[in-house]
A and B are shown apart, each in its own frame.
Chain A
């Protein structure tokens, strides 16, 4: 699929041959944005940024993209599917439990359809015995926990301690992506643009006084603003603020979900989401998906209720902007040190510039979620696509 619009011969990337088969070309996401073009907006994340820069340089230079043929080839290698025991972990105690269970069962269904033996387990007191008992210990884990303990790296730390291979980003990278302000700093250092923002804990308002902080906030960022918890998903606790009078209520809503608020300039533009699957370091950047809602806000209700929301795949952007947003997603994926699967959300502003909002290490996999929608629209068969991802990780014989 990538061959039709490749711009750079694969050889020029200097990449190693993908483990997944004969990669014929490079594709959309092998270009441009790297640390050399980064602005210097922040140095607050020190070591994380340095690592991200190194990762970003190395990966973008070396990795070659994956084609549909590669995916099919890799899936066809999975000849002993029923012999492998896969475990999907979903549920948990986060605010997104419902979405997580839905994601987990969808993935289970597609993998079983592809012939794998798949079990599903909640994250509870019986999980560790299940993971460590010889009779139940899985060959591979796919953590599909959303929210805290799922995307903050915790469950991945546990899996690493248990020396169980799993699909998805490592614990440290997950923690980086989970904190929206830190992730913004990292991708900014990697050259991406992200809406200007400040990160304020509730205690800051308490210590300095609400009015002076809000005055300074409005003076610095102006209106409209987007208020969200620094950690969380599914747009829970998020509020668009267009008038000053809405600000305090938006902060109260936000602090019900967490102690720290990310207060971001609201950017007007096209909401676009780019999903990436990665096969032993070689990326498959799925076509950018544009989200359109009547209200203009892709809030919890719009995400969770089949309704008037429409998705456009690829996004209704010109070729150059489409390329730019795909590249930006891969840059974010690399800069944050993500692995195997991610979804990065952007607003493409009036100048056609992708503005990074956040990256997700455990993107939703429900029937209305963006990654599967994007993959289906690109012509992928989900059982085989997920099979290729599973087989890729099994082939790597990971211990983390």
Chain B
């Protein structure tokens, strides 16, 4: 029998297919941090981690009736395969949404529907980048984009940003430096409005400057704009795409304004790129879900979605104010930029602290955040954390920040004890 010590050992490979994986799967690993997040959804934990929009005010009862009617009348279409470019009805419906941010020259045929912006990022990277190519991106960078870029073995080169977004001079310097190194810069990836995680919005003055630099060096811009309609005061900013139709691939999504679970986003691209995107979309998924697309069109056609978004804006403002006030009260020695919209505050923690290493202590204290290290692919970011105010109520946000303050105080005490030199300038 197998437990006889005299018999030969049996080898059990933890993963028999380990040696068969592609190199790009190398980064796909479990981590303690991911495991710690398993508790973040428990009600005892105040999660300031996830970027989930609040859906509690959606008119689900009425929507259910409308969806029932839709299924009764168009069920065979909703459950059938569809076009790789997306439902023509939806492609028409997104036009007035884009007009709110100054994009007025788009026809339905210019639009490609994708399975969420994440899928759009995957497609554009798939058709533009070979391993080793360079993508420029703001630092910090959206964690989902980093995952896509890593999976295509792209080199992500950071471009500095500040409270007014991407710094044009830094962009030009970075392009020139990459050229000097003989690197192929395939595109600039940017989130100009209410950046995730930095919260910053690219100033209106900088937008044409960035476009001009990109034109000058023939660098494509991928503009990711999921938060553009979520300014607290209702203001919209001109999309980069509104300045230029030839050098920009525009991405926007229903995930933050209507329903992330539907996984519906859209892209607008110059003709050649658009054609490749459709082919790549077909190759990857055959077609976006008709059911999801028709759910969105049913909502857009039958409800006052602008008022709904306006309602959400007010709610997110209230929550952002609550977080800002709580931070001033409990963590005055940290620094942050109060955003004008979106979902996030990017908090700089005292010098010497490491947000990633501190997370287990936070989970013990029943508060969760995302370490800044998640938004870099080079190990930077440990001195920041992303705090989301979109989902918890103001009272919960306040409680979460209170808990976070005790976590930071305790971690500071430990770090000061063991590494006093690293925290000399701490608050």
Which A residues lie at the B interface, using CB under 8 A? 1-2, 4-5, 27-28, 68, 93-99, 101, 124, 202, 205-206, 210, 234, 236-237, 248-249, 251-253, 255-257, 285-287, 290, 300-302, 304-319, 322-323, 326, 368, 373, 376-379
For A309, the closest partner residue in chain B by CB is: B14
Residues of A contacting B1 with CB < 8 Å?
1-2, 4, 68, 378-379
Q: Is the interface of B mostly helix, strand, loop or mixed?
A: mixed
- Bound complex: CA A202 to CA B415 (Å): 11
- Bound complex: CA A174 to CA B29 (Å): 32
For A251, the closest partner residue in chain B by CB is: B418
- A sample of 23 cross-chain residue pairs with beta-carbon separation below 8 angstroms, ordered by A number, consists of A5-B3, A5-B4, A28-B3, A93-B39, A93-B366, A99-B35, A210-B417, A236-B32, A248-B419, A249-B418, A252-B418, A256-B360, A257-B361, A285-B3, A287-B2, A287-B5, A307-B14, A310-B13, A311-B14, A322-B5, A326-B5, A373-B12, A378-B3
* CB-CB contacts below 8 Å: B1-40 with A: 1-7, 9-15, 18, 29-32, 34-36, 38-39
Cβ of B205 under 8 Å from chain A: no
Q: Quick check: A300 and B18 within 8 Å, CB to CB? A: no
Q: Quick check: B10 and A312 within 8 Å, CB to CB? A: yes
Among B6, B45, B417, the residue within 8 A (CB) of A319 is B6
Residues of B contacting A290 with CB < 8 Å?
9
Q: Quick check: B39 and A307 within 8 Å, CB to CB? A: no
Residues of B contacting A205 with CB < 8 Å?
417-418
Q: Quick check: A377 and B2 within 8 Å, CB to CB? A: yes
CB B49 to nearest CB in A, in angstroms, measures 14
For B42, the closest partner residue in chain A by CB is: A93
Given A256-B361, A304-B30, A306-B15: A313 touches B44 (CB 8 Å cut-off): no
Q: Quick check: A95 and B5 within 8 Å, CB to CB? A: no
Residues of B contacting A236 with CB < 8 Å?
32, 35, 360
Q: Which 5 A-B pairs have the closest CB atoms?
A: A306-B15, A322-B5, A1-B1, A98-B38, A304-B30
Q: Quick check: A304 and B2 within 8 Å, CB to CB? A: no
For B418, the closest partner residue in chain A by CB is: A248
Chain B contact patch, size range: 35 or more
Name which of A95, A301, A323 has the most chain B CB atoms within 10 A of its CB.
A95
Among B3, B35, B359, B363, the residue within 8 A (CB) of A300 is B35
Among A202, A252, A305, A312, the residue within 8 A (CB) of B9 is A312
- Bound complex: CA A305 to CA B42 (Å): 24
* CB-CB contacts below 8 Å: B355-372 with A: 357-361, 363-364, 366
Among B14, B44, B418, B419, the residue within 8 A (CB) of A93 is B44
CB A242 to nearest CB in B, in angstroms, measures 18
Residues of B contacting A318 with CB < 8 Å?
5
CB A61 to nearest CB in B, in angstroms, measures 22
- Bound complex: CA A286 to CA B419 (Å): 45
- Bound complex: CA A249 to CA B356 (Å): 13
Cβ of B87 under 8 Å from chain A: no
For B419, the closest partner residue in chain A by CB is: A248
- Bound complex: CA A368 to CA B363 (Å): 25
- Bound complex: CA A147 to CA B293 (Å): 44
- Bound complex: CA A308 to CA B18 (Å): 6
Cβ of B335 under 8 Å from chain A: no
- Bound complex: CA A156 to CA B118 (Å): 45
- Bound complex: CA A74 to CA B234 (Å): 70
- Bound complex: CA A159 to CA B361 (Å): 28
- Bound complex: CA A128 to CA B427 (Å): 45
A257-B360, A378-B2 are known contacts; what are 4 more A-B pairs with Cβ within 8 Å?
A: A28-B3, A255-B414, A287-B5, A301-B32
Name which of A2, A323, A377 has the most chain B CB atoms within 10 A of its CB.
A377
Q: Quick check: A312 and B11 within 8 Å, CB to CB? A: yes
Q: Quick check: A377 and B10 within 8 Å, CB to CB? A: yes
Cβ of B411 under 8 Å from chain A: yes
Q: Quick check: B2 and A305 within 8 Å, CB to CB? A: no
Among A249, A256, A379, the residue within 8 A (CB) of B2 is A379
Given A202-B417, A257-B360: A316 touches B9 (CB 8 Å cut-off): yes
